[in-house]
Structure 1
């Protein structure tokens, strides 16, 4: 594949992802109790190395909010960041092994409704979590829970002004201006919003009614020289290899990061307008290599991230070049223009994420899922509520559990079809067509209907479509044949090769047939 074939689309998209990723890299690192530079390292590795090794065309990797609690607790429990880095390296090795042993197939077993629910929930959380920054709140924003209480005390006119102007640019640039003149397609709207935001801050300054304080600006570390820049990299403490807690932490990070990555892959592939499929095992290996290298040079753990990936797709990215370029831009920015980056109002970046959050959680998507029926809407909406109310993984597990229950209920009701008919002078004749696969899950419904038959009924059990019949069902039907004889219920067994009028031979006959079919 020619990496530069679609550079005209990938380059603008990489700029958008860069402006989305930069504050997230810093914010996730700070919330995790790690040095801010550790988040930038993870963003660089996730963009360049993982982006190059990955088989995804539009997925973007970096530090994820879903790992914040795990990382924060692990650093506190291990007692030092250097010891924690050893766990990150080991987690990467475990992920590589998961990919080699083809564990990536797990991602294919998450229902579509759950994935769509995850996207909508993330969209809601992104949108709501940007409100504090959009109105000028300069405190710590919770990355896991939604809490807007007390924000009215922190409203800053300058931040609101920047937010309003930024939103006007973002909403009119592509939707109106780009349609009138092609020149507007050459420059991404977020870049214009950032430039305008810097101009507003430079014009209004840090005093007056529309003032913006330093705490309301992006905060990137500014190295004084090459030595101070290199000093920001942290090396792992390999003496921790004898510490049992390090291995427990590594295993936890590997499993959680792999699950988040596989879910993000599923979500990103659904967003891809060309519906390209990401090889999941290759993705796990790429993530493993990324985490190993990130841990070696002082970065926090990496996963593929829906926020960055969705921003990438919605900005028109075509290939992995966009992800690689965004990683290089992170590196270039902290080397060349850290002082300039620190002039960007956080309200501008919040505006970019407000638009992305809305696109992920459009009200129309809820209406569409509702129209698909209960089997799709219930897992979808419970996944949304679960993620918003708890966290990403708990919400996914809630949705997955509901999805599994829905499948079991469908299987419960689809095991057979009961038909009441009358012919050849026989009244009260019941004919049951059994499905291709009848398992113990269906046993309850079969028992309920057969036990409801009245004395003297005629019953036909049609197994001509059945290929798999559980032993539990065979055992019950064998027991029912005795009850039927006592209640004067006449049974006829209909199989593919012959009709069995003698219920006593049913178990022996079908036991032999099923054994052959299953083995």
Structure 2
């Protein structure tokens, strides 16, 4: 494939992803208890190396918020960042092995409703998390004693001004201007918003009503010289390879990072307008190589991430070039223009993420899922609530559990269909068509149906469509056959093996094990 075939679309998209990724790389690293530069290392490795090795055309990898708690606890428990880096290298090797063993197939077993719920939940969380930055809050709002005066005191007018202007630019740029003139498609709206944000900050200065403070700006480490730049990199401590805790941490990171990657792959493929499918085993191998390299030079763990991938797709990216370029931009910006980056108001980046969050959690998607019925809407909304109330993995587990219950309930009621026909002048002929698979889950409704038959009835049990018939069902049918004889209920068994009236034993007829049509 020609990597530069769609560069005219990939280049503008990479700029948007760069501006989204920059604060996220720094924020995830700080929240994880790691050096800020470690987040940038993970970002550029995720972009350049994983972007090149991955089979995804539009997925973007980097440090993930879903691993923050695990990374923070691991660094604390191991007592050394260098020991933690060793665990990251080993986690990458484990992921490579998982990919070789074709464990990526797990990604195909997540229900569509759960994946859509995950996207909407992430959108809600992104939107909510950006509100403080959009308003210029410094510190955390005390939710126990929250009041309007408390909120008002924390609002920075300059940040609100930047947010409003940025939102106007972004909405007009994509919604109106880009549709009227090709020029506006060549230059991404977020880049214009960033430039305008820098102009506003430098014009208003550091004092006055609309002034922005240092903690409302992006904060990128500024190396003084080449030596200080390379001094930001850390090396793993391989003398700890005999430490069992390192292996436990490595295994935990590998499993959680792999699950988060597979979830993101599934979600990203659904957002892809061309519906290209990412090879999941190759993705695990690419992520594993990325994590091992990241750990070797001081970076935190990497996964494919929905936020950056969504920004990439919504910005019109066509190929993996966009992800690679965003990684190169992270590297070049830290080396060449860290001072300029530190002039960008966080409110601008918050505005970009507010738009992305709204698109992911668009109210229309909730309405569409509701119209699809309870079987789709219940797992969807439970996943949304679970993720927002807890975290990504816990919410996914809750959504999968509810989805499984819905499937089981659906299977419970879909084992058979009964028709009532007239026989000998009476409506006393009951014809039951059984489904392709009838298992112990279906025993309850079948028992209820058969136990409700009146005396002197005629019953036809049609198994011609049935491919699997569980032993539990055969056992119950034998018990019912005895009851039927006592109540003068005539049974006709119909199957591909033949037709028999009032069988003495269903188990003898079908076999004592689970019955397969092919037998």
Query: Aligning the two structures, in what range does the TM-score lie when normalised by the shorter sequence?
Result: over 0.9
SS at match of 2:139: coil
Where does residue 455 of structure 2 map in the other structure? 455
Q: Residues 322-341 of structure 1 correspond to what in structure 2 (within 5 A)?
A: 322-341=322-341
Q: Residues 62-211 of structure 1 correspond to what in structure 2 (within 5 A)?
A: 62-139=62-139, 151-211=151-211
1:509 and 2:518 are equivalent in the alignment: no
Q: 1:501: how far off?
A: 1.0
In the alignment, is the contact (CA less than 8 A) between 2:469 and 2:516 conserved in 1? no
Distance change (3 Å), C-alpha of 1:31 and 1:516: closer
Q: Residues 57-456 of structure 1 correspond to what in structure 2 (within 5 A)?
A: 57-139=57-139, 151-425=151-425, 427-456=427-456
CA deviation vs aligned residue, 1:30-73 (integer Å, no higher than 9, x gap) = 00000000000000000000000000000000000000011011
Distance change (3 Å), C-alpha of 1:152 and 1:254: farther
Distance change (3 Å), C-alpha of 1:140 and 1:238: farther
In the alignment, is the contact (CA less than 8 A) between 1:132 and 1:151 conserved in 2? no
* In structure 1, C-alpha distance between the alignment counterparts of 2:487 and 2:247, rounded to whole Å: 64
* In structure 2, C-alpha distance between the alignment counterparts of 1:249 and 1:152, rounded to whole Å: 43
In the alignment, is the contact (CA less than 8 A) between 1:113 and 1:377 conserved in 2? yes
Q: Structure 1: state its 5+ residue gaps.
A: none
Q: 1:443: how far off?
A: 1.0
Q: 1:459: how far off?
A: 1.2
Where does residue 55 of structure 2 map in the other structure? 55
User: TM-score when scaled to structure 2?
Assistant: 0.97
In the alignment, is the contact (CA less than 8 A) between 1:416 and 1:432 conserved in 2? yes
Q: Structure 2: state its 5+ residue gaps.
A: none
* In structure 1, C-alpha distance between the alignment counterparts of 2:210 and 2:57, rounded to whole Å: 42
CA deviation vs aligned residue, 1:478-517 (integer Å, no higher than 9, x gap) = 1111122222222111111321113214321211796564
Q: 1:178: how far off?
A: 2.0
CA deviation vs aligned residue, 1:135-169 (integer Å, no higher than 9, x gap) = 00133699xx9x99854431000000100111111
Distance change (3 Å), C-alpha of 1:151 and 1:290: farther
Q: 1:402: how far off?
A: 1.0
SS at match of 1:503: coil
In the alignment, is the contact (CA less than 8 A) between 1:14 and 1:325 conserved in 2? yes
SS at match of 1:242: coil
Q: 1:356: how far off?
A: 0.4
Q: 1:269: how far off?
A: 0.4
CA deviation vs aligned residue, 1:277-320 (integer Å, no higher than 9, x gap) = 00000000000000010011110000000000000000000000
In the alignment, is the contact (CA less than 8 A) between 1:87 and 1:249 conserved in 2? yes
For the aligned residue pairs, the C-alpha RMSD in angstroms reads 1.7
SS at match of 2:3: coil
CA deviation vs aligned residue, 1:378-414 (integer Å, no higher than 9, x gap) = 1111111111011101111111111111111111111
Q: Which shifted more, 10-19 or 411-420?
A: 411-420
Q: Which shifted more, 445-454 or 164-173?
A: 445-454
In the alignment, is the contact (CA less than 8 A) between 1:474 and 1:511 conserved in 2? no
* In structure 2, C-alpha distance between the alignment counterparts of 1:140 and 1:59, rounded to whole Å: 33
In the alignment, is the contact (CA less than 8 A) between 1:467 and 1:514 conserved in 2? no
Where does residue 475 of structure 1 map in the other structure? 475
CA deviation vs aligned residue, 1:8-37 (integer Å, no higher than 9, x gap) = 000000000000000000000000000000
* In structure 2, C-alpha distance between the alignment counterparts of 1:257 and 1:272, rounded to whole Å: 22
CA deviation vs aligned residue, 1:408-440 (integer Å, no higher than 9, x gap) = 111111110011111244542211100111111
* In structure 2, C-alpha distance between the alignment counterparts of 1:186 and 1:253, rounded to whole Å: 40
In the alignment, is the contact (CA less than 8 A) between 1:11 and 1:322 conserved in 2? yes
Distance change (3 Å), C-alpha of 1:516 and 1:312: closer
* In structure 2, C-alpha distance between the alignment counterparts of 1:7 and 1:200, rounded to whole Å: 31
* In structure 2, C-alpha distance between the alignment counterparts of 1:264 and 1:427, rounded to whole Å: 56
SS at match of 1:16: helix
Where does residue 500 of structure 2 map in the other structure? 500
Q: 1:95: how far off?
A: 0.6
Distance change (3 Å), C-alpha of 1:115 and 1:438: same
Q: 1:248: how far off?
A: 1.0
* In structure 2, C-alpha distance between the alignment counterparts of 1:13 and 1:370, rounded to whole Å: 33
SS at match of 2:441: helix
In the alignment, is the contact (CA less than 8 A) between 2:141 and 2:151 conserved in 1? no
* In structure 2, C-alpha distance between the alignment counterparts of 1:71 and 1:153, rounded to whole Å: 34
Q: 1:518: how far off?
A: 6.0
* In structure 2, C-alpha distance between the alignment counterparts of 1:369 and 1:243, rounded to whole Å: 49
In the alignment, is the contact (CA less than 8 A) between 2:107 and 2:280 conserved in 1? yes
